[in-house]
Amino acid sequence: SNVTVIEMLPAILTTEDEEIARGLITILKKRGIQIFTETKVKEAKVKGGHAEVTVTNKEEKEEVFKAEKALMAVGRSPCTDGLQLEKANVALNGKFIKVNERMETTSPGIYAIGDVTGRQMLAHKASAEGVAAAENAAGKRATVDYSKIPNCIFTFPEIASIGLTEKQAKEKGLELMIGRFPFASNGRALATGGSEGLVKVIAEKELGQVVGVHILGDHATDLIGGPALALGLEATTDELGKTVQAHPTLMEAVSEASLDAMREAIHLPKKRR
């Protein structure tokens, strides 16, 4: 199949670490996938049993793409119209329901969770909010730490990330140490034919605390659970790197990337400090 991606923004995957995004874009282009950025969809219709999409690029040049199928992926919007929330004294922030850190709306005793509240529109984020809302409704006190919610992109290969990107960490003024480990150096990845991609670990230099982990590769979305726990426990590169992983597994790449941040990776050429 021939696949074409039309993106209005200057780049795709703008929420991901730039290095990881570039890696996936390179892989996709090698597979023959065309990516058009800064291109707007003017019209999409079915004509003669096929999809016909008319676009304009940044030079306002018009082009028509014909395909068997067209997928429109433009995000979500909250379904709050017609709910008459004002009658219950529930305030809105735009079209989203306004909530506090306990998921409670402006009307005491009424809670809202998920996409309707804004923030990351992720099912697992909504689930965490649901638990917090239920605990708060039951008299406990619970909040959700939005800085430690994994983000997953189910492409081939996958992307999974948690915490800060390299750019975000630098913008915070952190002095960093960064480790990388390619799946091409991982035994399990080589054995299963999934050697594309890498693990990238970002840590602040003074204490070695891990502040971000980014994975591009097969089963990346399954691997992110370990780094999620590490960030939740404020683990260091030493702790994550020296956790003994079973062999041969893909999780070894996570530990090796952590060790590489300290220039201690075993299965990479020695680097200068």
- In what side-by-side order are the strands of the sheet with 198-204? 151-153, 158-163, 210-217, 198-204, 176-182
Q: Flag whether 19 is in a domain.
A: yes
Q: Flag whether 76 is in a domain.
A: no
Q: What is the CATH number of the domain that holds 186?
A: 3.30.390.30
Q: Flag whether 78 is in a domain.
A: no
**97 plus 52 within the same structural domain:** no
Residues 6+ apart with CB under 8 A from 115: 76, 78, 121, 126
Q: Flag whether 74 is in a domain.
A: no
Q: Flag whether 129 is in a domain.
A: yes
Q: What is the pTM for the complete model shown? A: 0.93
Overall number of domains in the chain: 3
Which of 50, 214, 219, 247 is the catalytic position? 247
Looking at 107, 124, 144, the residue that finishes a domain is 144
pLDDT at 74 (0 to 100)? 84
Distance CA 59, CA 21 (A): 25
Checking if the pLDDT of 102 tops 60, the result is yes
Q: Flag whether 168 is in a domain.
A: yes
Q: What is the CATH number of the domain that holds 109?
A: 3.50.50.60
**135 plus 162 within the same structural domain:** no
**155 plus 251 within the same structural domain:** yes
Q: Flag whether 266 is in a domain.
A: no
Checking if the pLDDT of 5 tops 80, the result is yes
**60 plus 11 within the same structural domain:** yes
**95 plus 184 within the same structural domain:** no
**138 plus 155 within the same structural domain:** no
Residues 28-49, mean pLDDT to the nearest whole number: 95
Checking if the pLDDT of 272 tops 60, the result is no
Q: Flag whether 79 is in a domain.
A: no
**205 plus 240 within the same structural domain:** yes
**181 plus 240 within the same structural domain:** yes
**156 plus 132 within the same structural domain:** no
**124 plus 155 within the same structural domain:** no
pLDDT at 273 (0 to 100)? 45
Looking at 67, 96, 117, the residue that finishes a domain is 67
Structure tokens at 83: 């709910």
Q: What's the gap between Cα 106 and its chain centre?
A: 30
The range of the structural domain enclosing residue 93 comes to 85-144
Structure tokens at 167: 């750019």
For the stretch 11-38, pLDDT in tens is 999 999 999 999 999 999 999 999 999 9
Average pLDDT value over all residues in the chain: 96
Q: Which of 1-5, 40-44, 95-99, 269-273 has the lowest mean pLDDT?
A: 269-273
**32 plus 97 within the same structural domain:** no
Distance CA 204, CA 169 (A): 8
Looking at 19, 35, 67, the residue that finishes a domain is 67
pLDDT at 165 (0 to 100)? 98
**37 plus 9 within the same structural domain:** yes
For the stretch 60-101, pLDDT in tens is 999 999 999 999 998 888 989 999 999 999 999 999 999 999
Q: Is 247 a catalytic residue?
A: yes
For the stretch 199-208, pLDDT in tens is 999 999 999 9
